[in-house]
Chain A
Amino acid sequence: MSGQAVMGSGGDERVGWRPGWILSPRHDLAWFLLLPVSAVLIAIGCHHWLPFVALVSVNLWITIPHHCATWVRTYGLAEDWQRWRGRLLLGPLMIAAVAMMGHRWAPTTLLLVVTMWDHQHSIMQQHGFARIYDFKAGTGTSRTGRFDLVVNWVLYGNMFLTAPLFVQYWVRELFTWQLPVGVDAVQMLQGVSWAVTIGVLVAYGLHLVGCLRRGDGVNPIKLLFLSASYALWYVTAWHTDSILVFGIAHRLMHGLQYMVIVRIYLARKARDRGATGGGLGLSLAGRGGLWRFVGISLLYAVVFQVVVGQPQPLETFGFGVFEFNSVYEAIPELGVGRFTNREMYALFATAMIDAVAMVHYYFDSFIWKVSDHRVREGLQ
């Protein structure tokens, strides 16, 4: 039996297919298997019936609160705070400073960094969930994690290289960075990408067959989860060239699943250690904790938007259905003009948005390692 399996549920029976759930069949079905489908439908609905600002609203009400969940997990959990105090204090300062400098002197580079880090972060979240599924089911071998990682990177990378939605961005970036490419070169690259993807999927399939034959076990729920996630990404990246559809579907899936796993983590930690004395995070896990968790997340979103959204119009709050533009009309007869120092403020606001996102990416790079036994405690 592999180390991975031993670390899991403890069941030593050597079986083939072995379903394992992160929370429970009902919850996993809702949050991890059907959520991607619902997210695609919602995104297509927004594309048909709502203005583009709806994407910004989803960002406000889902993505920003999911950053808040990271702060609750890191700064609000005494255990995490004690373990990673140095990084939690130094990381945001470094990243904020770099974001400000980037916006001032190298905005295109900063945009590239934030975008690519966001993609890497998305891949690693799905990979992390896949690891949790194996951990919970006690399936796979010591090599399964590597296979999962490669499959995630190759599938996502292939989408990035071949889906029209993304091709338009990276081709433009190549031209911008003085690396012009022709149609033939791009098509050749895409052909190679598809060939590599097929090869990796075949190798992954053989690995799974090996796991089944040796009795290391395969968690079918993990495969369904990965299929649902990549179905969302591939369908929305090909369906339309609108970043609205991809963005809304992706942010709904990514943000909600993240908040769910944080809630699960806090609840497990509170169950093992008690809800008191463990910091704000554990107090959000006990009785009534869900509403406090949701309340704090939404309050954070509102405060964040008020801080970085001024003096931009407030349509973001209402998916573009409600208009707030008149709030910021100039009143010439009273000598009241538009806001002054607008450019300075815009620099601050955009740097803040990028810095907060990057701090979230950074923290997630070390607080969710399933190989860490103290992290596993919160997932059991």
Chain B
Amino acid sequence: MTAGARGAICGAVAVVSLGVAAWGWAENRPVSQSIAALVVAVGAMLAWWPPHWATGGGGYRILLVIWLPAAVLAAFEAADEGLAGTKQLYGPRRMNYADVMIGLYPDREGYRFLKAQQMGLCREGVMPSAGACRELGPVTLDQIRGELERAIRTGVTSNEDLLRIYVEVLEEAGAEDDAARAKRALYRHHPNSGLADAKTQ
């Protein structure tokens, strides 16, 4: 195939794909459709580019290696129901994020935070039909607090959510002094956290 023919075909594909992307955007079609069309357009333009663009010496090859798979993932993410929600993460019986991590590392107390999150979601009725919730049965605030305190005793302070949820649990339990102490710890370690913002409202 001559360079001219390749250019014409790739150019046509790129123009049509860009048109589809723009139409999808204008018509409020799913974002994944526009992204998929953009990926095709970019692929056509790259194919039209002189062949050496993708070979040797770094250059654009690394962008291609990284961004093409990323574009596919982005289209999946942008699709409706593409990523798992909380229910799918913590809801299934046994095969859920919390129980897998605790099963893998039973001696690492830091992962009790995940159990506390799961228990909290069950207690709030966020996922009432979930197998994990049925297995847990009725969950009390004290049980959640106990799980959180096991995680906090490890001394790991990187988990902002752990400290934030602990504050919320203590406040709900009416333990005001403990809540104030936990809040101070949260502010100290994560001054940019959502609760730190709330303090200044």
Which residues does A use to contact B, with CB under 8 Å?
Answer: 47-48, 51-53, 55, 87, 91, 94, 98, 102, 105-106, 108-110, 112-113, 116-117, 164, 167-168, 171-172, 175-178, 180-183, 186-187, 240-244, 312-313, 315, 320, 323, 325, 328-330, 338, 362, 365-366, 369
Contacts and interface: CB of A to CB of B under 8 A. Distances in A.
B83 interface: yes
- How many chain B residues sit at the interface, stated as a range, is 35 or more
A134 B62 CA distance: 25
Contacts of A175: 84, 88-89, 96-97
B156 A242 contact: yes
B103 A315 contact: no
Given A175-B84, A242-B157, 15 more contacts: A48-B155, A105-B77, A106-B73, A113-B67, A164-B108, A168-B101, A177-B83, A181-B95, A182-B95, A183-B104, A186-B100, A240-B155, A242-B158, A320-B191, A365-B62
Given A53-B189, A186-B104, A313-B196, A172 B67 contact: no
A369 B56 CA distance: 12
B191 A313 contact: yes
Contacts of B31: 105
B190 A52 contact: yes
B78 interface: yes
B100 A171 contact: yes
Interface in B78-105: 78, 82-84, 88-89, 92, 94-97, 100-101, 103-105
Nearest to A364: B58
Contacts of B157: 47, 51-52, 242, 244
* Overall SS of chain A's interface: helix
* Overall SS of chain B's interface: helix
Among B77, B111, B188, the one with the most A-chain Cβ atoms within 10 Å of its Cβ is B77
Contacts of A108: 77, 83
A91 B62 CA distance: 11
Nearest to A52: B189
A102 B74 contact: yes
Contacts of B97: 171-172, 175
A171 B83 CA distance: 14
Contacts of B104: 164, 167, 171, 183, 186-187
B67 A330 contact: no
Among A102, A105, A329, the one with the most B-chain Cβ atoms within 10 Å of its Cβ is A105
Contacts of A242: 155-158
Contacts of B103: 183
A109 B77 contact: yes
A110 B70 CA distance: 8
Contact of B158 (A52, A116, A365): A52
A329 B103 CA distance: 44
B39 to A, nearest CB: 12
Among B78, B88, B192, B201, the one with the most A-chain Cβ atoms within 10 Å of its Cβ is B192
Contacts of A329: 200
B190 A53 contact: yes
B74 A106 contact: yes
15 contacts: A47-B155, A53-B189, A105-B77, A106-B77, A110-B74, A167-B104, A172-B97, A180-B88, A180-B92, A183-B104, A243-B158, A315-B192, A325-B196, A338-B197, A366-B57
Contacts of A172: 89, 97
B196 to A, nearest CB: 7
Interface string B104-145: 110010110000000000000000000000000000000000
A287 to B, nearest CB: 34
A362 B92 CA distance: 40
A312 B62 contact: no
B76 interface: yes
A91 B188 CA distance: 39
Nearest to A55: B158
A323 B196 CA distance: 12
A366 B59 contact: yes
B35 interface: yes
A171 B101 contact: yes
Contacts of B101: 167-168, 171
B28 interface: no
Contacts of A362: 62-63
Nearest to A367: B58
B77 A98 contact: no
B66 interface: yes
A56 to B, nearest CB: 8
A220 B156 CA distance: 37
Given A106-B77, A182-B100, A320 B70 contact: no
B154 interface: yes
Interface string B8-35: 0000000000000000000000010001
Nearest to A94: B63
B192 A312 contact: yes
B100 A113 contact: no
